[in-house]
Amino acid sequence: MDTIDDLFGKNEAIAASLAPRHLSVEPSGGLAIVTCMDSRLDVFAALGLGDGEAHVLRNAGGVITDDVIRSLAISQRLLGTREVMLIHHTDCGMLKLTDDGFRAELQADTGVSPAFAIESFTDLDADVRQSVLRVRRSEFLPHRDAVRGFVYDVDTHRLREVEA
Ligand SMILES: [Zn+2]
């Protein structure tokens, strides 16, 4: 049995054990979180968040791409969030590759150099600061005063704020 079959089966038991409920589509905490896809970072558990409290946007590295800005614009303009929390983390996969190296690898394997930016980084704190700046400078977002950046330690579970 593959992992998806396994999870699909688990959901049936989990759903059967929970009472139905309906939460608002607008996050009750007024918060959007942008973070990495890393499997060791359980955002809800690490922050004590519950269902319905925050939007969580994830990609490789927690990078502020155009698509993340698209989601934040919808989050703020349609769904009432005002604060943005950016979380990078220790031992990130994006520290282990280079833009040029990964691009060359993709091109060598497929013959095509991708149109997208790879967005690797070498300095966690510097990249958090850059990400905060990208959000603060996006005119598509009406709320840019409460944008803060953090680094999560995947071994100690501890969050550290990066001064902008
Ligand atoms: Zn990562």
Q: What is the average pLDDT score of the chain?
A: 97
pLDDT given for residue 121 in this prediction: 95
**Interval between CA 141 and ligand 1 midpoint (Å):** 25
pLDDT given for residue 1 in this prediction: 66
pLDDT at 88 over 90: yes
Q: How far apart are CA 44 and CA 78, in angstroms?
A: 23
Structure confidence by residue, pLDDT tens digits, 71-80: 999 999 999 9
Q: How far apart are CA 144 and CA 89, in angstroms?
A: 23
Question: Cβ(150)–Cβ(87) under 8 Å?
Answer: yes
**Interval between CA 63 and ligand 1 midpoint (Å):** 10
pLDDT given for residue 164 in this prediction: 79
Q: How far apart are CA 16 and CA 18, in angstroms?
A: 6
**Interval between CA 123 and ligand 1 midpoint (Å):** 13
**Interval between CA 98 and ligand 1 midpoint (Å):** 14
State the CB neighbour count (10 A cutoff) for residue 100: 10
- Laid out side by side, the sheet with 83-89 consists of 54-59, 31-36, 83-89, 147-152, 159-162
Structure confidence by residue, pLDDT tens digits, 128-137: 999 999 999 9
**Interval between CA 149 and ligand 1 midpoint (Å):** 14
pLDDT at 16 over 70: yes
Q: How far apart are CA 72 and CA 143, in angstroms?
A: 10
Confidence of residue 145 (pLDDT cuts 50, 70, 90): very high
State the CB neighbour count (10 A cutoff) for residue 154: 16
**Interval between CA 17 and ligand 1 midpoint (Å):** 33
Question: Cβ(138)–Cβ(144) under 8 Å?
Answer: yes
Which percentage of the chain shows pLDDT scores above 70?
A: 99
Structure confidence by residue, pLDDT tens digits, 116-126: 999 999 999 99
| CB contact set of 138 (below 8 Å; sequence gap of 6+) | 69, 72, 73, 144
Average pLDDT over residues 141-153: 98
Q: How far apart are CA 29 and CA 55, in angstroms?
A: 9
State the CB neighbour count (10 A cutoff) for residue 164: 11
Average pLDDT over residues 47-76: 98
Residue type, 8: F
**Interval between CA 37 and ligand 1 midpoint (Å):** 6
**Interval between CA 122 and ligand 1 midpoint (Å):** 12
Partnered with residue 34 across adjacent β-strands are 57, 86
